Amino acid sequence: MAGRRAAGNRVDLHRVRAELPAPVQDLVHEYERHLALERGLSTHTVRAYTGDVVSLLGFLHGLPVTPTDGTGSEPAGRAGQDDDTPDEPHGRPVAELDLPALRAWLAALRAAGTGRTTLARRSAAARTFTAWAHRRGHLATDPGVRLAAPRARRALPSVLRQDQAGDLMRASESGAAERDPVALRDRAVLELLYATGVRVSELSGLDVDDVDLDRRVVVVLGKGGRERTVPFGEPAARAVREWLAHGRPALARPTSPPALLLGARGGRFQPSSVRRIVHEALGSVPGAPVMGPHGLRHTAATHLLEGGADLRSVQELLGHATLATTQLYTHVTVERLKAIHDRAHPRSQ
């Protein structure tokens, strides 16, 4: 019920974008192309950044960009306008976007209940946009350089214990014993996710030629179009060999793409289907936390560090642009060690 209420209170940013003045819509489209073509960001990232900019520009032009409380009251006001500032038909023009306007937008989002993590992301998106707009001459100065935002609280991700990960892989191996094509594919999915720590979009984007079973490596195209080579172990190699020999030929069609993983109709296997497989498979592991494919990525990184891998190597394997992102997993391992200490040491309490 709560989920349905939340969905009902979501702002339709597509509608907001369509109601922006035509020159502003053109600006959004230009920025969207910059993110996709010049920066090479993923479709998901482009959509998120563009949506944040639409929210900002919609707020500037007096459009409702925060959920209402159902009372019919007017949405949070037009950014950057003081009481002595005359109203304008479309609020503040893009060329006059300034620091007070950015702060007013964030304040309206915060008042509407937006969390710290989302506020931090939207602040980053606004800074990226204002820097780009300044470089392109749409803004005389860049107000984003002075925009401070609440630091996001980085919650430690849920991960499987090593015995739980083993149970998950054994269950998938047992299911594939009959050489059912779907079961063989699902086993290869789980083994590769855990063995390599790749993102779900990276896994779905793999072609057959991206996998070298002799060397036991896979070539992955990651964020920003960055390519990296990731090794995997013999269990994953075994699962992929059996999938390629006995599973994929059964699902392939004459029109099938060269994708490593195929769906039941012979098309490229989609990330949403990978998520479903992971959720269903984890349901058979006693005590396993609720997680998706990204949880197996977290698990792989944590187990690598617990096994003695250095942080730089894990950064390279995961395809993190900065070491700071990988350092999250050092906190995960410390928390796990503390939990073990609390359970096992006679003087932990």
131 neighbors 97 (Cβ within 8 angstroms): no
What is the end-to-end Cα distance of the chain in Å, rounded? Answer: 40
* Triad 183, 240, 264: Cα angle to 5°: 40
Burial class (CB in 10 A: 0-12, 13-18, 19+), 100: middle
DSSP 151: P
Q: Using CB atoms within 10 A of its CB, is residue 247 exposed (0-12), middle (13-18) or buried (19+)?
A: buried
Residues with catalytic function = 199, 223, 294, 297, 320, 329
Q: Output the DSSP codes for 87-137.
A: P-TTSS-GGG--HHHHHHHHHHHHHTT--HHHHHHHHHHHHHHHHHHHHTT
H or E stretch covering 324? helix 323-326
